[in-house]
A and B are shown apart, each in its own frame.
Chain A
Amino acid sequence: DVKVTQSSRYLVKRTGEKVFLECVQDMDHENMFWYRQDPGLGLRLIYFSYDVKMKEKGDIPEGYSVSREKKERFSLILESASTNQTSMYLCASSRAGTSSTDTQYFGPGTRLTVL
């Protein structure tokens, strides 16, 4: 059974803190993604990675960075958390390939609150 896990289900941080969100997948997938989910907006892509040490900006990368040192792990970093980054963060992975039909598998999400 495929599995994507995220390090925390709930996280509360203060404005200005550095925040790390961790994601691990056990499916040997090459592609990994970070999204944020806000009511009425669906999911929006922050960053994605097609390979180790490789990253690409998504639609809303401002205020975020990522790290992928190992194939199974993809980290999202908030360098200096702000209140407008309060959101649900979802990690996903998919196998490599150029097909637009590849299924993405999602983790349970981390609900981050920035005070």
Chain B
Amino acid sequence: AQSVTQLDSHVSVSEGTPVLLRCNYSSSYSPSLFWYVQHPNKGLQLLLKYTSAATLVKGINGFEAEFKKSETSFHLTKPSAHMSDAAEYFCVVSFKAAGNKLTFGGGTRVLVKP
């Protein structure tokens, strides 16, 4: 069975400093991987997705993620946090063999301090 683990439930950063959100997955198959963001009182928005092309994926709002097969990881980073990055972030995995259903991690809530 596929599973996703987000290693931090909460991350606090200062504005202008780097952001790192960690995600590990488990599966016997080649995955598709996504990061979604949820701002307060809003629906989920896709940040980026990995689809077995380039291992370094660039997304919206300056975020990027690197797929590392050997480490079964897909960590999300941003060089410089902005106040508007305060939100909850979800790492998501999908497998064709599992009917393309999405499996979500537990979420990481990001707090950005001025």
Contact = CB atoms under 8 A, between A and B. Distances in A.
Contacts of A81: none
A99 B100 contact: yes
Contact of A40 (B4, B9, B43): B9
Interface residues of B, number: 25
A99 B96 contact: yes
B63 interface: no
Given A43-B90, A90-B43, A106-B43, A98 B100 contact: yes
- The A interface is mostly helix, strand or loop, or mixed, namely loop
Contact of A101 (B51, B104, B107): B51
Interface residues of A, number: 24
B44 A90 contact: yes
A58 interface: yes
A48 B99 CA distance: 11
Nearest to B53: A101
Given A99-B100, A102-B100, A4 B43 contact: yes
Interface string B23-61: 000000001101010000111111001010000000000
B43 to A, nearest CB: 4
Contacts of A99: 96, 100
Nearest to B104: A42
Contact of A103 (B42, B49, B104): B49
